[in-house]
Amino acid sequence: MRLLLCGRTVQPTRRIKKKNGIEYWYEETPYYDKEMKQIRHTSKYLGRNIDGEPVRMRVAPDEIKVKTKKKPVHVRSSFDYGSILTLQKVMEELHLDRHLLDILNPSEFAMVRALAFNRIIRPLAMKNVGTWYEGTSLALESPEITLSSQRISEFLGRVGDHDIPDRFMARILEGTGTKTTLIYDITSLSSYSQLINLLEYGYNRDGDSLPQINLSLILDKDKGIPVMYDIYPGSIADVSTLSGTLQKIRAQGIHDYIAIMDRGFFSQGNLEELLDHQLTFIMAAKLQLKDLKLLLTEAQKDIDDVKYLQKFNKDTIFVKPITYPLGSHLVQGYVYYDPKLEQSERETLRSRLYDIREELLKARLKKNSNPFVVFREKAQGFMNFFDWQVAGDRFEVTIKQNAVTQRMNRMGKYILFYSGEFDWITCLTLYRERDEIEKAFKDLKNEIDLLPLNTPSEKTTRGFIFVAFLSLIIRTRLIHKMREAGLVDKYSVELLLLQLDKLRKISLADGQVITTEMTKKQRDILEALKICA
């Protein structure tokens, strides 16, 4: 572009400026400043100096021609890189890439890694994953793989039909060492599919009226990652899964560990199996059992005696040691009484019963409706707290005081049984850390987008759950690193990866691949996570 300045035609000039050791091209155009009565210059950024030519680094559609005086420099494509780099470093830190390459060929490894990264960065329907993949730096590293919907389905079917998940978990368990704290829990995965044999109706933890698969998960508390999972038909109760899980852990040669379990796994049979194998555990008791009701009734006669007074997280609680005779064993435990929790639970129950009563009183029965079915649906698990009858098309409902009193007598109180050398505070602290596995289930369902299961067969379902498990390992470890680095107050996982996606790989027409300049935010994130770009 030519300009007329003081009667003369002038051209903008280009010059290189050096900042932090990196060279950049700028175009400077002179102009006359009437106020200052002097010639000044405007400066326009052209790009980074690449082989003597300016190349813009932050704008890169599929084909950019950067015009220069000599010849155009073609930027063929740009690829998301920062988020891929971060997840890859997490994989390497946990040796997941090594474990996978022990059981998969390089192309299969590239495919399962791409699918797992997609569930973390931007979960998509399988038909769209290939388009996402082509825009990431993974495509530069492994251009030979095809991620069409059909190829993905075939691959997941092969994974689900072989022992790949079991072999992978065996390597992870071996890598955790022989002494660790394992937290065990189970959740439900619902599906509309009619082609998955494992789908059955059962207790659904999400309140879905759909058939389900039950997914158990074991979390290594010390490393903060899931290390093992299993799949069960939807009708199998939680308590029935423990024996098989313990056998699988023993089969991996792991015997010296602490198992942390919720009351859903409590039964006399499970307790006896844990004690027979001399396993170290902490398990919450199910207080609906008759002998445990009697044990609690006896313990709470003097539970609020000051000799049992303790403090936990700055709140006062009462803790009383107990023993529970079970066959040839004598199980050790603690009864905990938390007055603050009791008050909260009482208010929650009163509020819930009031809302249900009002809902039932307002209900109008249709001519052919079944009153019991209507009552059960509206009572939602609180049926035993109500006396009711039908008058015309209405319910007459009263709350049963005795039932409320019995429930309130147990509120704020719970029992933890254990085997091993645990004082009351260690038992309670370890049990409270079960929250980590609840967060893992939430991430599986919401962030990794596992629900609802839309896979076409049982084999592909098993393969898809394996991919989700791998995604969960990487995501939970990344969260752990973010927490250690003090980043969780500034970023969610999604926001952090979005910020890093601005760091890109650029493919030039001559075959060169370069990386864009790193922003200060990106540099601060990667340094905090101890990741070298």
339, pLDDT greater than 70: yes
Q: Which residue has the higher pLDDT, 424 or 437?
A: 424
Supply the pLDDT for residue 333.
95
Give the model confidence (pLDDT) of 279-293 as tens digits.
889 999 988 788 888
The predicted pLDDT at position 43 comes to 66
Tell me the whole-structure pTM to 2 decimals. Answer: 0.71
**pLDDT, tens digit (0-9, with 9 covering 90-100), for 213-248:** 788 888 888 888 889 888 887 566 667 778 888 888
pLDDT at 330 > cutoff 70: yes
* Residue 78 neighbours by CB distance under 10 Å: 20
Say how far apart CA 34 and CA 6 lie, in whole Å: 12
Q: Are 26 and 41 in contact (CB under 8 A)?
A: no
Q: Which residue, chain included where needed, has tokens 């290390």?
A: 227
Q: DSSP H helical segments within 184-338, as ranges?
A: 238-251, 268-276, 290-299
Q: Residue 413's Cα: distance from chain center in Å?
A: 30
β-sheet bridge partners, residue 74 = 65
Q: What is the mean pLDDT of the chain?
A: 83
Q: Residues 522-531: pLDDT tens digits?
A: 999 999 999 9
Q: Does the pLDDT value for residue 349 go beyond 70?
A: yes
pLDDT tens-place string over residues 251-266: 877 777 888 888 888 8
Q: What is the mean pLDDT of residues 331-335?
A: 95
Predicted confidence (pLDDT) per residue in 78-120, tens digit: 899 999 999 999 999 999 999 999 999 999 999 999 999 999 9
The DSSP line for 65-133 is EE--SS-PEEEEEEEE-HHHHHHHHHHHHTTHHHHHHHHS-HHHHHHHHHHHHHHHH----HHHHHHHH
pLDDT in tens, 133-189: 999 999 988 888 889 989 999 999 999 888 999 999 988 888 766 467 888 888 777
Residue 15: which H helix or E strand, with range? Answer: strand 13-19
**What was the pLDDT predicted at 207?**
52
* pLDDT in the model for residue 20: 54
Instruction: Rank 205-209, 301-305, 455-459 by mean pLDDT and report only the highest.
Output: 301-305
Q: Which of 66, 45, 3, 17 has the alpha carbon at shortest distance from 509? A: 66
Confidence grade of residue 25 (pLDDT, cut at 50, 70, 90): confident
Axis crossing angle, helix 238-251 with helix 268-276, rounded to the nearest 10: 10
Residue 58 pLDDT: 41
Give the per-residue pLDDT at 52.
Answer: 75
Q: Within 13 Å and on the Cβ side, how many CA atoms surround 33?
A: 10
Where do the H-state alpha helices sit in 144-289?
149-160, 164-175, 238-251, 268-276
pLDDT at 35: 62
Q: How much is the average pLDDT of 313-338? A: 93
Q: What local confidence, expressed as pLDDT, does residue 445 receive?
A: 74
> Which of 40-44, 208-212, 424-428, 514-518 is the most confident on average?
424-428
pLDDT at 272 over 80: yes
Helix (H, G, I), strand (E, B) or coil at 174: helix
Q: What was the pLDDT predicted at 66?
A: 40
* Residue 40 reports pLDDT greater than 90: no
